[in-house]
A and B are shown apart, each in its own frame.
Chain A
Amino acid sequence: MSDPEGRDAIVRYNANERTNHWIVAIAFMLAALSGLALFHPALFWLSHLFGGGPWTRILHPIIGVLMALAFLFLSIAVGKDNRMQDRDWKWLRQVKDVVNNREERLPEVGRYNAGQKLLFFVIVICMLGLLLSGIVIWRRYFSMYFPIGVVRFAAVLHAVSALVLVCVIILHIYSAIWVKGSIRAMTRGTVTPGWAWKHHRAWFREITHATNSRTRTD
């Protein structure tokens, strides 16, 4: 495949995957902003973005459930490529080379690197923690069915999971800014062959081999 300028381009995410990602991303931003409004008094002003305190309280859990649902589909789509392999542990041990842009020293990376895989698992755990604890502290519909000790624990679990999720999403967003050529994978859906070669060489070899053996005509 080629981009509008006629250069080669490799499809990384199809239109459905991109849509799914951005639904999760938008829901996360809304859930995070409304959640932070209730997290600390210094951020209560964020509740004005949602129409005030009561509206923030009404909308936050609904947005959260939508996020969890959309993430379920996303995790099914990308889950199989996020299994840790031997080379991933080596990659993690060389994290110094990773952050200092010395990729030539790292083992070859498949569709996702070890950092992305860890991020995926941390997000899965946080989403589960947020969803389960969020249902328990959803006073309007569910809290009355749980003993008070469970509600208290759920409130703590919700805050801790949210903190971890916000931090790893900051890292996720930063990584996209840091590693140039990544954002277009989620906007246009394609990356350049050089990007795939540099950052995900094993994946690059896999797909060029597959495409070439399938479409010999070009």
Chain B
Amino acid sequence: MALQSLDIVRRSATTTPPPGVREPSVGPVAKLIDTTKCIGCKACQVACMEWNDLRDEIGTNVGSYQNPADLTEHSWTLMRFAEYENPQRNGELEWLIRKDGCMHCEDPGCLKACPAPGAIVQYANGIVDFHEEHCIGCGYCIPGCPFDIPRISKRDHKAYKCTLCSDRVAVGREPACIKACPTGALVFGTKEDMKHHAAERIEDLKSRGFEHAGLYDPPGVGGTHVMYVLHHADQPELYNDLPADPHISAMVGVWKGVSKPISLAVMLLTAFVGFLHYIRVGRNEVSELDERAAAREAERKS
């Protein structure tokens, strides 16, 4: 989504400061997803389709309530259903439902990997947004992402993902999914408030026997602007492989870190060394003596 927002803190493939004169007084925002309150109704998925005018293809049933089977360029949020038999509770079945989608990392790997200036931005409120009109379709954001979120459209070859309804948030409204949630599992506000709210929820869960209940705000990516309350915060993998310690891959760090300017310097230096050699040592020329020696040798051989 493109907005002339003037509150950009990071801009992909850009080495000068992005337009950031506006500093929202509320500070960073966050969506809190309380998996313990989620009933799997998919109202959030429908609201996302409605607000963003997205219509995914009708797929096939894969033996689960999960539908569609995966995130796509048309499905920016997806309820992932996991059936977990808890050994601590005599194998009692727990239906762990996690609303998947972009986590809006404070340190976004997609933005770091992106080679197209301005195709990915991060606003002062923490939202990481794709500006598809600048996207070149290389797909580098995919290896950049620790959560496997961006999807490339098979039609226009641009990358798409959840915008955290940056267009709604920019005018003071909550994301569409938040508005649709019937149980209060989804809440939205300042990141500060969401942490307070989560702390209360966790206290309540602990008092009711979920001793490992906790907040998922992974420090490996600097924290996220989409956070989870999990009953099993000690085992996030239970929730359809939510990574326990996500971080931008070291490979992406090597690929996109200081190695790039150093590499450019090495190329320039190579050319400069050649130039220096030319003016210091100089050209290597064939003299008339060489030609005569060659002629003599040819004569001798014949």
Residues of A within 8 A of B (CB): 8, 37-44, 47, 52-54, 56-57, 99-101, 103, 137, 139-140, 143, 148-149, 151-153, 155-156, 159, 163, 166-167, 170-171, 174, 177-181, 192-199, 204-205, 208-209, 212, 216
B165 at the A interface (CB under 8 A): no
Inter-chain contact B301/A39, CB cutoff 8 Å: no
Complex CA distance for A53 and B157, rounded to whole angstroms: 12
The range of chain B's interface size is 35 or more
Distance (whole angstroms) from the CB of B15 to the closest CB of chain A: 5
B173 at the A interface (CB under 8 A): no
Inter-chain contact B297/A205, CB cutoff 8 Å: yes
CB-based nearest A residue for B292: A194
CB-based nearest B residue for A143: B139
Inter-chain contact A204/B294, CB cutoff 8 Å: yes
B46 at the A interface (CB under 8 A): no
Inter-chain contact A170/B291, CB cutoff 8 Å: no
Interface pairs (24), CB distance under 8 Å: A39-B115, A39-B260, A42-B264, A47-B136, A57-B137, A57-B138, A139-B137, A139-B138, A140-B139, A149-B251, A152-B143, A155-B143, A155-B255, A159-B263, A163-B267, A170-B267, A170-B270, A170-B271, A174-B277, A179-B283, A180-B283, A180-B286, A194-B287, A199-B286
Cβ-defined partner of A41 (8 Å) among B15, B254, B263, B281: B15
Distance (whole angstroms) from the CB of A95 to the closest CB of chain B: 13
On chain B, the residues within 8 Å of A212 by CB distance are 298, 301-302
B185 at the A interface (CB under 8 A): no
On chain A, the residues within 8 Å of B117 by CB distance are 41, 44
Cβ-defined partner of A155 (8 Å) among B135, B140, B295, B297: B140
Inter-chain contact A38/B281, CB cutoff 8 Å: no
A-facing residues in B228-258 (Cβ within 8 Å): 249, 251-252, 254-255
The count of A-to-B residue pairs whose CB atoms sit within 8 angstroms is 155
On chain B, the residues within 8 Å of A163 by CB distance are 263, 266-267
On chain B, the residues within 8 Å of A101 by CB distance are 281-282, 284
Inter-chain contact B297/A208, CB cutoff 8 Å: yes
Inter-chain contact B143/A148, CB cutoff 8 Å: yes
Apart from A39-B115, A44-B115, A204-B294, list 4 A-B contacts with CB within 8 A.
A100-B281, A149-B249, A166-B267, A171-B274
On chain B, the residues within 8 Å of A179 by CB distance are 283-284
B142 at the A interface (CB under 8 A): yes
CB-based nearest A residue for B296: A197
Inter-chain contact B286/A181, CB cutoff 8 Å: yes
CB-based nearest B residue for A44: B117
Which 10 A-B pairs have CB atoms at the shortest separation, nearest pair first? A139-B139, A194-B291, A53-B136, A197-B294, A174-B274, A193-B294, A194-B290, A152-B251, A41-B13, A38-B115
B5 at the A interface (CB under 8 A): no
Distance (whole angstroms) from the CB of B163 to the closest CB of chain A: 21
Q: If the complex has contacts A139-B137, A170-B274, A208-B301, are A193 and B291 also in contact, measured as CB distance less than 8 A?
A: yes
B65 at the A interface (CB under 8 A): no
On chain A, the residues within 8 Å of B288 by CB distance are 194
Distance (whole angstroms) from the CB of A136 to the closest CB of chain B: 10
On chain B, the residues within 8 Å of A151 by CB distance are 142-143
On chain B, the residues within 8 Å of A148 by CB distance are 142-143, 148
On chain B, the residues within 8 Å of A196 by CB distance are 294
Q: If the complex has contacts A167-B267, A170-B270, are A41 and B136 also in contact, measured as CB distance less than 8 A?
A: no
Inter-chain contact A41/B277, CB cutoff 8 Å: no
Inter-chain contact A38/B138, CB cutoff 8 Å: yes
CB-based nearest B residue for A98: B284
Inter-chain contact B286/A159, CB cutoff 8 Å: no
Cβ-defined partner of A56 (8 Å) among B136, B260, B294, B297: B136
Inter-chain contact B136/A204, CB cutoff 8 Å: no
Complex CA distance for A47 and B14, rounded to whole angstroms: 15
